Amino acid sequence: MWATVADQNTFDYVIVGAGSAGCVLADRLSSSGQHSVLLIEGGGSDKSPFILLPFGLYRMPRKFDWLYKAEPDVSRNGQVDRWAAGKVLGGSSSVNGMMWVRGDPRDFDRWAQEGAEGWSFDDVLPYFRRAETFEDGSDLYRGDDGPQRVARTHVKHVLTDAFIDAADQAGFPRNRDYNGKVQTGGSYAQCSQGRGLRWSTARGYLRRARKRKNFTLWTESYAQKVVVESGRAAGVIVERDGVLTTVRCNKEIVLSAGALSSPRILLSSGIGPAEELKQLGVTPVVDAPGVGKNLQEHPVGTVLVDVNVRTLNQETSSVHALRHALDFVVRGHGGLTGTAAQAVVFGGLQDGAPHTEFEIMFGPFGVAGEVAPDVSDQDATYEHDVHAMKLAKTPTVTILPCVVHPRSRGEVTLAGPNPKQSPKIRHELYGDPRDLDDMVEAVKVVRRILQAPAFAKYVVSEQVPSEAIGTDEQLREIIPAISFRGEHASGTCRMGSDEKSVVDPQLRVRGVRGLRVVDASVMPSLTSGNTNAPVIMIGEKAADLILSSDNV
Ligand SMILES: Cc1cc2nc3c(=O)[nH]c(=O)nc-3n(C[C@H](O)[C@H](O)[C@H](O)COP(=O)(O)OP(=O)(O)OC[C@H]3O[C@@H](n4cnc5c(N)ncnc54)[C@H](O)[C@@H]3O)c2cc1C
């Protein structure tokens, strides 16, 4: 239904969501000065030390999160997960762990095989390069004049060096740049930071757009649904200050509200599985059976190891804090620039694996509390909350193995006909037993690395899962209790060439003219690692697709 406010708000492009992809679009679509662009964001300003300063990650205020809650995960003893999603300028790039990982080049060739024509690695590489300014400069694979700053980790620790050496000894050779030609091997982490500060897409891209006269930004504005007139997306109904407003568009509407919200907006607009919509009291406009399906997430396990040298979690005294603070202020280095991990190892679980199959993240710091449940308690569930992390008191390292190509699929549906309701999220982290088998193997790879000479000399004992858990069967039993989601929700508006895909390879929503989805939702399958860099690439390529199309 059209809102009551006068329809004076008309723009060429209307983008919903100022997150990783939405900020890229805001910048690129407005850059020529020829088109009027409106960006609608549900959250507010990102001016906060918790966002700007990397260590703010572990104390992120809740107001920056949509705080979605999922249905119980029966594959993990009924665990009810909170699915974090940034609700602020920059979206999840403002609240994420800042890991910068493009993925295995073969991920994108796989996308092309899955029907995403034009998205092979050769096709997307120019967009990865265009996006970034990498601190080591450019080569055939890396960029040095894009809006997105990328740095190597500036947190040095003897155990990080030892872990990379041990990975080498365990058969995963050193790789200087996992975002280059080859992903596999062991490396220092790269991160979305510049001068030791978080570099969100709001900082990299949106700041440029905001200087332009043809660009308009609405914050604290909630997009309820898209209005479809005669088969064309004509406007968006937005709630601002408690008032419903309708914005109209001359050219295109782009949904970049993230993998949990973009499908919710489509479904509330009547674009989705017709029968399901009718049962929920929503009048179907386009029968699009794939909307909200294909929800994918990375399972991440936990290995905590007690070590015999001091780790960063112990450096909280005033003397250490002062040293880290000075290092941060003077050089943009040190413990205060810490990201989710300081080293990464990518590899296959079997010889000749077609893809990277696991990512192992290493941190020379120990976590405690909910991240380290009592593993002897079979009923323990494991709530991981990166935004409220507790540190261990003893010297401990944290190693997080991640199965990067999970087969488990969930879905996002409507909770009811009211577009203000949060989406309903159903997902089982180990809904497919093969993902659990892979995690068992990934934990065994971690143990192999820990036992290699370069690291073994530092190990006192394995705290989680614990040395008592030795057999595959024991690991299979304990892993669901020590696993959590990688925060990489994706796939809910799948791109493909088949009729059941939600968007075509130009990211146009099937069955509606003038409407695209551009965000993590469109990934046909998850990439090998953290998802911010691939989403930014999607935004970059989408901008070219939009600007080169005849969309009037
Ligand atoms: C806690 C956390 C840690 C992570 N760590 C990493 C990491 O270390 N490295 C990495 O590569 N990836 C990480 N990720 C994943 C990565 O950040 C996301 O995949 C990526 O940012 C998704 O981009 P997007 O554009 O799809 O969505 P988002 O960036 O989430 O943007 C969606 C935007 O839309 C807005 N929005 C939603 N609904 C509406 C509405 N109805 N009306 C108006 N606006 C709306 C939101 O407020 C948000 O700003 C992490 C994610 C989280 C949540």
pLDDT digits (tens), the chain, 552 positions? 444 434 459 999 999 999 999 999 999 999 999 999 999 999 999 999 999 999 888 889 999 999 999 999 999 999 999 999 999 999 999 999 999 999 999 999 999 999 999 999 999 999 999 999 999 999 999 999 999 999 999 888 999 999 999 999 999 999 999 999 999 999 999 999 998 999 999 999 999 999 999 999 999 999 999 999 999 999 999 999 999 999 999 999 999 999 999 999 999 999 999 999 999 999 999 999 999 999 999 999 999 999 999 998 876 667 676 676 777 777 777 767 777 789 999 999 877 666 799 999 999 988 875 444 444 444 444 456 777 777 888 899 999 999 999 999 999 999 999 999 999 999 999 999 999 999 999 999 999 999 999 999 999 999 999 999 999 999 999 999 999 999 999 999 999 999 999 999 999 999 999 999 999 999 999 999 999 999 999 999 999 999 999 764
How high is the pLDDT of residue 354?
Answer: 61
This prediction's pTM: 0.95
pLDDT at residue 329, as a whole number: 72
227 contacts 246 by C-beta, under 8 angstroms = yes
Q: Which two tokens stand for residue 125?
A: 């590489």
How far apart are alpha carbons 262 and 259 in whole angstroms? 6
What local confidence, expressed as pLDDT, does residue 242 receive? 93
- Give tens-digit pLDDT for 214-245: 999 999 999 999 999 999 999 999 999 999 99
Q: Estimate to the nearest angstrom the gap between the alpha carbon of 3 and the chain centroid.
A: 34
Query: What one-letter code names the amino acid at 539?
Result: G
- Of ligand 1's atoms, which has the minimum distance to the CA of residue 259? 26
Query: Are the beta carbons of 395 and 308 closer than 8 angstroms?
Result: yes
CA–CA distance, 459 with 41 (Å, rounded to integer): 47
Peptide bond into 173 cis (omega under 30): no
Q: What is the DSSP string of 361-385?
A: EEESS-EEGGGS--TT-TT------
| Residue from 493, 541, 507, 546 nearest 126 by CA | 541
Ligand 1 pocket mutation, candidates 218, 337, 532, 540, criterion most atoms within 8 A of CB: 532
pLDDT at 551: 60
Cα Dmax for the chain: 71
The alpha carbon of 126 is separated from its chain's Cα centroid by a whole number of angstroms, namely: 21
End-to-end C-alpha distance for the chain, whole angstroms: 24
Q: How far is the CA of 151 from the CAs of 55, 91, 138, 185, 429, in angstroms?
A: 16, 20, 13, 19, 31
What is the CA(310)–ligand 1 centre distance, in A?
34
Contact by Cβ (8 Å): 404, 289: no
Cα dihedral 422, 423, 429, 433, rounded to 10, equals 160
* pLDDT for res 391: 81
- Give whole-number Cα distances, 335 to 332, 365, 390, in Å: 10, 10, 16
Give me ligand 1 centre to Cα 67, in Å: 12
CA distance 272 to 104: 32
Report the chain's C-alpha Rg in angstroms.
23
Residue among 26, 550, 492, 531 at smallest CA distance from 261 = 492
3-class secondary structure per residue, 202-217: HHHHHHHHCCCCCEEE
Model pLDDT, residue 450: 98
Angle, vertex CA 411, rays to CA 481 and CA 224, nearest 5 = 120
Query: Directed axis angle between helix 121-131 and helix 105-113, to 10°?
Result: 130
| 227, containing H or E segment | strand 221-229
Q: Name residue, tokens 């504005």.
A: 221
Nearest CA to ligand 1 atom 23: 20
Q: Provide CB contacts within 8 A for 326, sequence distance 6+.
A: none
Q: Name the helix (H) or strand (E) containing 459.
A: strand 459-464
What ligand 1 atom has the least distance to the C-alpha of 534? Answer: 11
Q: How far is CA 195 from CA 149, 178, 531, 536, in A?
A: 9, 21, 22, 20
35 classed as catalytic: no
Return the ligand 1 atom nearest residue 40 CA. 43
Nearest-atom number in ligand 1 for the CA of 201 is 29
For residue 457, the one-letter residue type is: K
- Please give the Cα distance from 16 to 12 (Å, whole number): 13
DSSP of 61-96, one letter per residue? -GGGB--EEPPPBGGGTTB--EE--B-BTTGGGGTS
Q: Where are the beta strands (DSSP E) in 91-205?
A: 132-134, 148-152, 185-188, 190-191, 193-194, 197-198
Q: Which two tokens stand for residue 485?
A: 């989601």
> 19 C-alpha vs ligand 1 centroid, how far in Å?
6
- Per-residue confidence (pLDDT) for residue 312, from 0 to 100: 85
85 CA from centroid of ligand 1 (Å) = 5
Task: Give 486's DSSP letter.
Answer: -
How big is the chain, counted in residues? 552
67/522 Cα distance (integer angstroms): 22
So what's the pLDDT on residue 528?
97
* Contact residues of ligand 1, CB 6 A cut-off: 16-22, 40-43, 84-87, 91-93, 95-99, 101, 222-223, 256-259, 261, 265, 340, 386, 487-488, 519-520, 530-533, 535
Q: What does the block give as tokens for 433?
A: 């037993």
For strands 215-218 and 37-40, give the pairing.
parallel
How confident is the model over 290-345, as pLDDT tens digits? 999 999 999 999 999 999 999 988 766 676 766 767 777 777 777 677 777 899 99
Bridge partners of residue 490, in order along the sequence: 296
CA distance 261 to 252: 19
The C-alpha atoms of residue 186 and residue 172 are separated, in whole angstroms, by 6
